[in-house]
Amino acid sequence: MPAAAVVVGVARSPRHAFSKDAEPAITLVEGLGVEGDAHAGTTVQHRSRVRRDPTQPNLRQVHLIPIEVLEDAAAAGFVVPPGAMGENVTTRGVDLLGLPTGTLLELGPDAVVRVTGLRNPCSQIDDHQRGLLKQMLGRDDRGEVVRRAGVMGVVVAGGVVRRGDPVATVLPDGAHVALQPV
């Protein structure tokens, strides 16, 4: 029997930095993101995207990553505790990277995040720890690019999220659309 899906870490940062600070709890705000986080907002907050078009909707309000990816990187010699990759929520027991676009993630008793797409791994990952990018970006047996740096989402119901909270997935109706970078 598979282990229950659970939140193993939550993090936020009030400034645009690669990593985020681990917290005992974070508050998700509907339509905005993580309260007190530099990436919260209705329009794009990532600096490179703001320079291109600051009016774009923010499809990256919340960054989630499975601890299993961080454990794989740790086994290869990297130090990647929850928050180190800039994620707000670290999960265990959820195949985040395999979910279809539009999946709802129920985090704890109240918060709900709609998955919008994949985080596209960038060179900042190697700036953080040289060689770590190879752990987050690879190719499958067909030669297709595999992005492992987590998923992005928007908050559709606010609430407090804590380490130890359960995670439930609600798949979208209809044909499932594979995640693409956002």
Q: Is residue 181 part of a domain?
A: no
Least trusted range by pLDDT, from 51-55, 132-136, 173-177 = 51-55
Q: What are phi and psi of 87, to 5 degrees?
A: -80, 155
Q: Is residue 10 part of a domain?
A: yes
How many domains in the chain?
Answer: 1
CATH number of the domain that 43 lies in? 2.40.33.20
What's residue 2's pLDDT?
61
pTM of the entire predicted model:
0.96
Q: What is the pLDDT of residues 97-136, one digit of tens each?
A: 999 999 999 999 999 999 999 999 988 999 999 999 999 9
125 by DSSP, 3-state: which? helix
Average pLDDT, whole number, for the chain? 95
Q: Is residue 86 part of a domain?
A: yes
Q: Is residue 182 part of a domain?
A: no
Q: Is residue 155 part of a domain?
A: yes
> What is the extent of the structural domain holding 90?
6-170
Q: Is residue 144 part of a domain?
A: yes
Q: Is residue 30 part of a domain?
A: yes
Q: What is the pLDDT of residues 14-34, one digit of tens each?
A: 999 999 999 999 999 999 999
Average confidence (pLDDT) over 35-63 = 93
Q: Is residue 176 part of a domain?
A: no
